[in-house]
Structure 1
Amino acid sequence: MITLITFAPSFGQIAASPFCVKAIWLLNMSGEDWQREDSTDPRNMPKQKLPAIRVDGQVIADSDNIRAFLESRGADFDGGLSEMEKGSRAFIRMAEEHIYFHNVLARWGDDDVWPVIRDTYFAQIPKPLRGFITGKLRKNLLTGMKTQGLGRLSAQERLERLEPDLQAITTRLWQGPFLFGDMPTAADASVAPMLAGLRATPGNGLAKMRIAGDRMLCRYIDHCQNMLDMPQVYDVTSTAVSEPLCA
């Protein structure tokens, strides 16, 4: 049995990190038997981050490595896609190397949102120490975001930078309920959690409100969550999709 080590649920999401959501969805899509182990401290993991899986005495960290492991056991996350459609890897990189950092700044960089994030993510730290410890973590993270580049932009500038990505996703969704047809693929397991994370972020940040106000993106997020959050919901023989949860 595979054990997924993941962050706990938060803000209505099945896990606090979109990469953990991705791993959950890939496991459900793979048909493997697995169990969940929630953790608040990834420092003992091989990459010092989550998600990771424990199987046959070894620990495999990083969602891409988890995907590769599942594919080595026969999972086909892009079944039925043409060679051109397998360019969906570009959507995965867009989501994980760009949209993800908008998530980070929406949660860690907004002074109004940060207290909620701090007290949710770090509830295990006693209150007298929580502000001091997490303040240093936040400062280091935001310094890294300035090095990355997005941290140098205003919220409005970041929204303008995000908009072409959202338009590219919307263009694909005119073709079907998922990015590449009637059934979810690996691209959906990366893109939808990033959008869902932004939509679920506390407060009324610009990126959150942009996604929450977009009927097509909301429907897409809800389709993915309805089908992939729970293993018994996903049926590779069916193309039926339940109704969206938001207008």
Structure 2
Amino acid sequence: MEPIQVVGMRPAWGLPSSSPFCLKLETWLRMEKIPYTPIALSKPPRSDTGKVPYLLRADGSTVADSNFIISTMANELNIDLAHGATAEERARTHLILRTLEESLYFVAVWERWQQAEYWPTTREAIFGYLPPILRQLLAKTIRRKMLASLQGQGIARHDPVRIAAIGQADLAALSTLLGERPYFHGDRPGVADASAYGTLANLLGFPHATPLKRAVEGHANLVDFCGRMNKAYWSEVHGD
């Protein structure tokens, strides 16, 4: 099988990608042993959503959104995403994904893009490869759009203490669901584990002691989970 091309964000902070969704997708591809070639985004995304990651096909067509890419690849390659899970286990996976991608994600985005003390680090990771003038202009424009989206989504309408509490509650719930299992999916990792790793590794890798990072560090099983995923799928990056 020829490697597929995956367009995503550039590596940052010792991670393969600064985007939880890009890291999620690449981790899932490694879990399923699907060869791929990562392509660092260097111009506006060509996907129909205008976001990354997206799959770039040989005919020039694209498939966007990590969940849709995964389901598309699974259908094309006859991969059972549930790995024999029961209906209740599949529902559990669905709720884990929603917690990670529709709640905790926005707390993390608010922390990195809204908070003045963390914004320079975010700006450098995402726009640092650009020439100075373009970097300044594009970063300012994209940040304005991101902050507007956080207002529209609703998370930025709360005060910082309440936002931190939302993220902490999400992490506590995830820690409880993981418990003493090696993976959220059970004895072997699944899509929920790829998503959890994409999010948690990004929170732990961010080079500031943010409230979210400290909250993750307060759950030993979540930290151990990331270490397990590092060793299993990203040993060349983390030196395990």
TM-score, normalised by the number of residues in structure 2: 0.88
**1:150 maps onto 2:155 in alignment:** yes
Does structure 2 retain, via aligned residues, the 8 Å contact 1:113–1:202?
no
Q: Which residue of 2 aligns with 1:163?
A: 168
Q: Is the CA contact (8 Å cut-off) linking 1:45 and 1:52 kept in structure 2?
A: yes
Q: How does 1:23-172 map to 2 (within 5 A)?
A: 23-57=25-59, 58-72=61-75, 73-87=77-91, 88-172=93-177
Deviation per CA, 1:11-60, whole angstroms, max 9, x where unpaired? Answer: 12111211001110121122222222222334322321111112342321
Does the CA contact (< 8 Å) of 2:20 and 2:199 recur in 1? yes
After TM superposition, list the pairs within 5 Å mapping 1:173-188 onto structure 2.
173-188=178-193
Query: Which string of whole-angstrom CA distances, capped at 9 and with x for unpartnered residues, describes residues 68-123 of structure 1?
Result: 11111212232132221011111111111111111211211110111121122112
Q: 1:235 matched to which residue of 2?
A: none
Q: Structure 2 stretches of 5 or more lacking a match? A: none
Q: Render the CA deviation track for 1:129-166: whole Å, top value 9, x for unaligned.
A: 43343223212211221221111223321121122222
Provide the rounded CA distance (Å) in 1 between the counterparts of 2:125 and 2:48.
25
* Cα separation, 2, equivalents of 1:179 and 1:227: 15
**Deviation at 1:193?**
1.3
* Residues 208 and 155 of structure 1, relative CA distance in 2, 3 Å threshold: farther
SS in 2 for 1:125: coil
Identity %: 26
**How much has 1:178 moved relative to structure 2?**
0.7
**TM-score using structure 1 length:** 0.86
Secondary structure in structure 2 of the residue aligned to 1:37: strand
Counterpart contact for 1:211–1:218, Cα < 8 Å: yes
Q: Which moved more, 1:166-175 or 1:11-20?
A: 166-175
User: Which one of 208, 213, 222 corresponds to residue 213 of structure 2?
Assistant: 208
Is the contact between residue 47 and residue 61 of structure 1 (CA under 8 Å) also seen in structure 2?
yes
- The one-letter code matched in structure 1 to 2:82 is D
Partner of 1:22: 24
CA distance in 1, matches of 2:28, 2:187: 17
Superposed CA RMSD: 2.0
Q: Once the 2 structures are TM-superposed, how far is the Cα of residue 10 of structure 1 from its aligned partner?
A: 0.6
Q: 1:43 aligns to what SS in structure 2?
A: coil
- Give distance in 2, aligned partners of 1:74 and 1:31: 13
